[in-house]
């Protein structure tokens, strides 16, 4: 087994860190802003550009 | 991370900057030709459809020289240009030169043979060629180039494959082609369609929404579903959500992941992008997506995760859809708009890499490395900014403004067409051959790549493609490519 494969096996198999609150916040706020952008930009584009 | 860097760092040593320099150099040649009337751009080799092979080559300005001379001149000029770039990027010049030479002539051969009228002519074109039947496979040259590249990249002896890697630079070639594509948008501004600006605007809106939805969903899938560590999850989420290889490398740097992490994710991205490149264009063309060609093209920008494969899949979809429209609807859509829609969405995504890398760097310093007082250099945004995108916009604005003012539309079209269209297609096919050469399916068989590949594949199937399709439709529904004439 090459050193690269050995490293990969170790790294991918390595036990994941516990999920933390800041990760929840990052995911939550990204989704909120993303959905907001989808609604606002989607409405504006459909009203003023596409039709 | 970036203490030694200046704003101009990499200007003469990075692939991105050399796409900018080479692309804009030829755009400048085209503009000078347009302004002076001196035919210094018409030598670029084109590959028309043919039934008599002596008609298979033609320079862009057909009266300038013979087809064979044009092919040789194009080889010499593009070899010099890319060799200068390769030299400054620190490549092994001897190996680059010979590998590039093989790739160029192999691509030219594939281009010539695949443009046979029995393979590519539409039913409407058949009488022009005096033939009674044809397969009507628009874009066959791209598919054949990819296939030949894949055969060599996966089945040739290892020493030969490794030699070919020296010249197979799909990202570089496609970035040069994308700078040329900027000229096309510039010409459309000259034509006063306004359509190009609409496309730019809706592409930007789609990107913002897609970006902020893709990343957190894939990150959560990797962390909670596949129990990956943060560095693997964040790098994979960026690779699959943003701009493939560049994003995974930028994220790896921003969160200080081990070098093996972005490297392994990048190999996954390239393999999956090739699968998408083969599967998605026919799926989009022969399903109800055909009725929404611009939305379909934009969805490619959101779902195919390398610049090369995205532009390449856009080019195939462009050919397939235009052929079907001509055959079934009797409508001739202008060439290049479907490709432009896929590229433009991708370009916006590329521009966000720097911003996202900065956000992740700040988060990792604060929450993972627990060093909240350390500042992240704001210039990271500039360093991570894809410079070929600058070239694309400079080409667009220069051709558009000069074509509208001092030079005039007809002269500009005459001068710039060899690069805006003919050279762009040449660099597309070089990209296809190179993508095949560097795609190694054996990577997927490596131990433990299976878990990452499964996470990547599932993220693509369950999150990126469905959401990308929805978002592309929301922002592009009803948009159709302009028709010829």
pLDDT tens digits for range B427-477 = 989 988 998 898 877 766 665 678 888 999 999 999 999 999 999 999 999
Cβ distance B241 to B250 under 8 Å? no
Of the ranges B187-201, B213-227, B358-372, B378-392, which is most confident? B213-227
Query: Quick one: how far is CA B270 from the chain centroid?
Result: 13
- Asked whether residue B8 is domain-assigned, the answer is no
Give the pLDDT band (50/70/90) at residue A49.
confident
Q: What residue has token string 């605007």?
A: B201
Q: What's the rounded mean pLDDT across residues B61-79?
A: 97
Q: What is the pLDDT of residue A11?
A: 59
Q: What is the pLDDT of residue B19?
A: 93
B146 against B196, higher pLDDT: B146
Q: What is the pLDDT of residue A1?
A: 46
Q: What is the pLDDT of residue A6?
A: 57
pLDDT per residue over B326-362, tens digit each?
Answer: 989 999 999 888 988 888 888 787 777 777 877 888 8
Torsion of CA B467, B471, B474, B477, to 10 degrees: -100
- Asked whether residue B6 is domain-assigned, the answer is no
- Asked whether residue B139 is domain-assigned, the answer is yes
B68 against B261, higher pLDDT: B68
Tell which of B216, B237, B258, B468 to mutate to test the A interface (max A CBs under 10 Å): B216
Q: What's the rounded mean pLDDT across residues B224-253?
A: 86
Give the pLDDT band (50/70/90) at residue B389.
confident
Task: For strands B58-59 and B45-46, give the pairing.
Answer: antiparallel
- Asked whether residue B3 is domain-assigned, the answer is no
- Rounded Cα distance between B127 and B129, Å, is 5
Return the percentage of chain B with pLDDT > 90, whole number.
49
Exposed/middle/buried for residue B451 (C-beta within 10 Å: 0-12, 13-18, 19+): middle
Interface of B with A in 185-244 (CB under 8 A): 198, 201-202, 205-206, 208-213, 215-217, 219-220, 223-224, 227-230, 232-233
- Asked whether residue B484 is domain-assigned, the answer is no
Question: Which residues touch A36 (CB under 8 Å, ≥6 apart)?
Answer: none
DSSP single-letter state for residue B41: S
- Rounded Cα distance between B149 and B167, Å, is 12
Cβ distance B268 to B452 under 8 Å? yes
Choose among B463, B214, B226: nearest CA to A31: B214
For the cut 60, the answer to whether the pLDDT of residue A35 exceeds it is yes
- Asked whether residue B109 is domain-assigned, the answer is yes
- Rounded Cα distance between B241 and B221, Å, is 13
For the cut 90, the answer to whether the pLDDT of residue B407 exceeds it is yes
Choose among B4, B21, B23, B24: nearest CA to B12: B21
Contact flag A42-B261 (C-beta cutoff 8 Å): no
- Asked whether residue B5 is domain-assigned, the answer is no
B141 against B308, higher pLDDT: B141
Cβ distance B347 to B206 under 8 Å? no
Q: What is the pLDDT of residue B2?
A: 45
- Rounded Cα distance between A22 and A24, Å, is 5
Q: What's the rounded mean pLDDT across residues B243-270?
A: 78
Cβ distance B103 to B437 under 8 Å? yes
Q: What is the pLDDT of residue B26?
A: 97
- Residue-number span of the structural domain to which B264 is assigned: 15-476
- Asked whether residue B392 is domain-assigned, the answer is yes
Number of structural domains, chain B? Answer: 1
Give the pLDDT band (50/70/90) at residue B125.
confident
Q: What's the rounded mean pLDDT across residues B100-112?
A: 97
Average pLDDT, chain B: 88
Q: What is the pLDDT of residue A2?
A: 53
Interface of B with A in 355-384 (CB under 8 A): 363, 366-367
Angle between helices B337-351 and B307-324 (to 10 degrees): 160
């Amino acid at each position: 087994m090459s050193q690269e494969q050995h490293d990969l096996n170790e790294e991918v198999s390595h036990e994941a860190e516990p999920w933390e609150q800041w990760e929840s916040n990052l995911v939550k706020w990204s989704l909120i802003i993303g959905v907001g952008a989808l609604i606002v930009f989607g409405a504006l584009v459909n009203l003023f550009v596409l039709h | 991370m970036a203490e030694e860097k200046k704003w101009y760092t990499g200007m003469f040593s990075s692939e991105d900057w050399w796409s900018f320099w080479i692309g804009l150099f030829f755009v400048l040649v085209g503009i000078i030709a347009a302004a002076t009337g001196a035919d210094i751009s018409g030598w670029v080799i084109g590959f028309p459809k043919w039934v008599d092979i002596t008609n298979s080559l033609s320079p862009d300005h057909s009266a300038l020289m013979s087809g064979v001379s044009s092919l040789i001149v194009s080889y010499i000029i593009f070899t010099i240009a890319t060799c200068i770039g390769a030299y400054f990027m620190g490549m092994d010049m001897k190996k680059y030169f010979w590998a590039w030479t093989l790739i160029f002539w192999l691509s030219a051969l594939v281009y010539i043979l695949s443009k046979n009228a029995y393979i590519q002519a539409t039913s409407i074109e058949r009488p022009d060629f005096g033939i009674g039947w044809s397969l009507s496979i628009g874009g066959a040259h791209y598919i054949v180039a990819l296939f030949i590249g894949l055969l060599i990249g996966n089945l040739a002896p290892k020493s030969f494959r490794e030699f070919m890697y020296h010249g197979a630079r799909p990202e570089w070639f496609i970035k040069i082609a994308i700078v040329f594509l900027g000229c096309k948008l510039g010409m459309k501004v000259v034509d006063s369609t306004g359509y190009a600006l609409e496309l730019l605007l809706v592409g930007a809106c789609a990107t913002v929404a897609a970006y902020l939805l893709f990343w957190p969903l894939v990150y959560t899938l990797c962390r909670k579903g596949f129990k990956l560590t943060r560095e693997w999850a964040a790098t994979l989420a960026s690779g699959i959500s943003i701009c493939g290889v560049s994003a995974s490398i930028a994220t790896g740097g921003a969160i200080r992941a081990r070098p093996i992490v972005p490297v392994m994710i990048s190999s996954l991205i390239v393999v999956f992008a090739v699968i998408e490149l083969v599967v998605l264009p026919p799926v989009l063309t022969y399903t109800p997506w055909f009725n929404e060609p611009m939305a379909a093209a934009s969805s490619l920008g959101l779902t195919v995760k390398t610049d090369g494969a995205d532009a390449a899949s856009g080019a195939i979809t462009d050919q397939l859809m235009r052929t079907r429209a001509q055959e079934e609807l009797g409508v001739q859509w202008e060439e290049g708009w479907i490709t432009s829609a896929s590229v433009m969405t991708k370009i916006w995504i590329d521009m966000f890499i720097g911003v996202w890398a900065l956000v992740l760097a700040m988060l990792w310093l604060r929450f993972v490395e627990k060093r909240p007082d350390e500042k992240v250099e704001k210039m990271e945004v500039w360093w991570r900014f894809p410079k070929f995108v600058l070239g694309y916009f400079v080409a667009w604005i220069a051709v558009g403004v000069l074509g509208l003012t001092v030079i005039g539309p007809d002269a500009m079209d005459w001068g710039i067409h060899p690069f805006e269209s003919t050279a762009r297609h040449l660099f597309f096919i070089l990209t296809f051959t190179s993508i095949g050469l560097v795609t190694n399916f054996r990577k997927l068989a490596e131990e433990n790549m299976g878990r990452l590949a499964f996470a990547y594949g599932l993220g693509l199937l369950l999150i990126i493609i469905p959401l990308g399709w929805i978002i592309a439709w929301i922002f592009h529904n009803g948009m159709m490519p302009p028709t010829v004439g």
